[in-house]
Amino acid sequence: MIRESQARQLLDILRDRIGDRQLVLFLDYDGALAAAVEHPDAVLLDDETRRNLQRLAAVHPLQVISGRDQGDVQARLGIAGIECIGSYGFHMMDALPQIDRQALEEAVVELECAANELEHWLDYIEGVVIDRKKYSFALHYRMVDRDDLQQINAAASDVLERYASLAWKKGKKVIEFVPDIPWDKGLCVEAVLARLRGTSGSREPFVVYIGDGATAEEAFAVLDPDTALGVLVVDHECDSAAEFRLRDPEAVSDFLGILD
Positions marked active-site? 28
Residue type, position 217, single letter: E
The most distant pair of C-alpha atoms in the chain lies apart, rounded to whole Å, by 58
Q: How far is CA 185 from the centre of its chain?
A: 7
d(CA 99, CA 66): 20
Give Cα separations from 53 to 33, 113, 195 (angstroms).
10, 38, 22
d(CA 13, CA 254): 15
131 pairs with which residues across the strands?
138
Residue type, position 159, single letter: V
Give Cα separations from 143 to 45, 114, 173, 197, 242 (angstroms).
21, 21, 9, 44, 29
